[in-house]
């Protein structure tokens, strides 16, 4: 088999294995599900427990993609085993009078993108 095909197959298998480790978002935390953003920060949490995070800061970029591991109070962890990242949620998802949704993660207030 061609080395590029073998490499692609390994990457695909790893991606499927990682996706299989995601824990669905519990019903009590369903307000977290959605696409949250502001100009320098993007956060996507899907119902199946997949998480994508991208932050621009100080001329650099931090990004995390992986399965949801667990919720601890309002905070949540993403990743596999010891290779995980904890997200500090200082204000959990809440709906404003105008119908918009907000959450504060890592000290920044994000707005959920309307569906």
What integer pLDDT is reported at residue 20 of this predicted model? 53
Q: Is 108 exposed, middle or buried (0-12, 13-18, 19+ CB in 10 A)?
A: middle
Q: What pLDDT shows up at residue 81? A: 83
The pTM assigned to this predicted structure is 0.80
Cα 44 → chain centroid: 5
**pLDDT bucket at 12, cuts 50 / 70 / 90:** very low
Is it the case that residue 97 has pLDDT exceeding 60? yes
Q: How many residues does the chain have?
A: 115
Per-position b or e across 67-89, b if 16+ CB within 10 A of its CB:
bbbebeebebbbbeeeeeeebeb
Express each pLDDT in 18-28 by its tens digit.
445 678 999 99
Q: What is the mean pLDDT of residues 20-46?
A: 93
Interval 56-85: pLDDT, tens? 999 999 999 999 999 999 999 999 888 899
């Amino acid at each position: 088999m061609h080395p590029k095909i073998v490499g692609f197959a390994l990457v695909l298998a790893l991606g499927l294995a990682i996706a299989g480790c995601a824990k669905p978002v519990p019903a009590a935390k369903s307000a977290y599900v959605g696409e949250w953003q502001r100009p320098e920060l993007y956060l996507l949490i899907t119902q199946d427990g997949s998480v994508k995070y991208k932050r621009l800061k100080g001329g650099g970029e931090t990004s995390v993609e992986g399965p949801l591991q667990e919720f601890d109070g309002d905070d949540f962890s993403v990743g596999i085993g010891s290779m995980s990242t904890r997200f500090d949620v200082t204000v959990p998802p809440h709906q404003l009078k105008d119908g918009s949704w907000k959450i504060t993660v890592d000290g920044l207030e994000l707005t959920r993108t309307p569906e």
